[in-house]
Structure formats: C-alpha cells, structure tokens
C-alpha cells in the first residue's frame, strides 16, 4: 500500500488523507524512489542462491503519465505542453531502463528484460470513437514494447510467435513462456487472446 502511495503524483488520494492514514498504519514512506526500489528488487532476485527461474513484474507509474482528465484534444497549447512533459519523462525512463539493464547484465544469469507500456497517452480524451476510430484506438490502446536484454536461447522469432501481426503485453509474455516451455504445444493449446478491437486494423508501426 505504501509503495502504491509513494508512486502517486499529487492526486486526490493524497489530498484526502488516504496515503497519510496508510503511512500511520504501515510506517513511514520509503526514503528512496520507486524506480530505485525496483532496481534493488531485481538485484536481490537475481543474486538469490535459489537456482529456480524467477519472474518479476514491476509497474512504474512515473515519470511518464497520460494526459489529465481536463485535457482537450483540440487545444494546441495543451498538446504542446504535454509533448514537452512526455519528452522529459522519456529521458528519465531511459535512465531507469539503462540501470535495469546494467543490473541484470552484472548478475550473469540468463535473463530477459521486457519493457511494455500499459496504454497510450490519452491525447484523444475529447474525440469520439465514431468520429476518428483510428486515432482513438491507437492513442488509448497503442503501446511501445521492447526486449532490452535477452541472454537466453530464445530467438527473436520465438519471442514473436504470437505477435506476427501486432503485439500486446499478453502476446509478448506468452511468447516468452512458449520459448521457455519444455512442451510448446501445451502453451499453444492454452493460449486464447481476447482484444478489445481488431488491432491488426489499427497498426501504427
């Protein structure tokens, strides 16, 4: 709970005292940033004496967030302001990813580091889906995804087994599981993907 509150920006959850109350119950908030905590968790996991393969999933809210609730898609100045925020956030997240790559590579164990966005920036808040469906779908559902470290025997083709046309977080992670599985056919039988839209109709890369 405290980690969740620490990741929040100045939102009503903080203003209404929710996080202050949580801190009284669970103790003081972490003195380090959440990205620092993530790096430390990855380092401890990688250096654990147990040789069992480990999977960790970390959600880093900042430094890039989507537009706020009162954002207007037609406001050019608002778009320009958000573009500046996005560029600055991208520079910060690059530093975080570089630290994670260095942490994993220093361990020496075969590892895969995948970075995936959860959704788009919501520049289309005031655009109706029937007015510009491509913009809305790409903006609200489009993500950036990258395999930054791959020191395993999984080839790019194997990791992209379920993403020949388009990628989603589920399809990417399923490709990893299929590659690492002793019986890939069992993974094929178990996998069923349900997307909100026919994303192959809205490709942007």
Is the CB of residue 204 less than 8 Å from the CB of residue 184?
Answer: no
Phi/psi at 113 (nearest 5 deg)? -115, 115
pLDDT, position 13 = 42
How far is 156 from 163, CA to CA, in rounded Å? 11
Q: What number is the average pLDDT over the span 2-27?
A: 44
Measured CA distances, 194 to 102, 169, 197, 198 (Å): 35, 12, 9, 9
* Helix, strand, or coil (residue 65): coil
How far is 119 from 144, CA to CA, in rounded Å? 9
Q: List residues bridging with 145 in a β-sheet.
A: 116
In 89-156 the beta strands, taken as DSSP E runs, fall at 112-116, 145-150
pLDDT digits (tens, 9 = 90+) for 90-133: 899 899 899 999 988 887 788 899 988 888 899 999 999 999 99
């Amino acid at each position: 709970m405290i980690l969740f509150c620490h990741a929040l920006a100045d939102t009503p959850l903080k203003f209404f005292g929710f996080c202050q109350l949580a801190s009284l119950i669970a103790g003081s908030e972490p003195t380090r940033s959440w990205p620092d905590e993530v790096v430390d968790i990855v380092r401890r996991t990688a250096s654990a004496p147990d040789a069992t393969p480990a999977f960790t999933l970390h959600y880093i809210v900042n430094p890039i967030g989507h537009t706020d609730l009162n954002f207007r898609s037609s406001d050019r100045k608002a778009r320009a302001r958000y573009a500046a925020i996005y560029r600055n956030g991208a520079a910060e997240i690059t530093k975080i990813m570089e630290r994670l790559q260095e942490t994993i590579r220093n361990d020496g164990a075969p590892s895969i580091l995948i970075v995936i966005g959860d959704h788009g920036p919501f520049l289309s808040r005031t655009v109706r889906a029937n007015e510009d469906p491509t913009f809305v779908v790409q903006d609200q559902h489009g993500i950036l995804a990258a395999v930054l470290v791959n020191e395993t025997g999984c080839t790019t083709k194997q990791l992209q087994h379920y993403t020949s046309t388009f990628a989603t977080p589920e399809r990417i992670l399923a490709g990893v599981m299929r590659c690492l599985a002793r019986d890939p056919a069992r993974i094929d039988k178990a996998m069923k993907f349900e997307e909100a839209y026919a994303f192959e109709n809205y490709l942007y890369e």
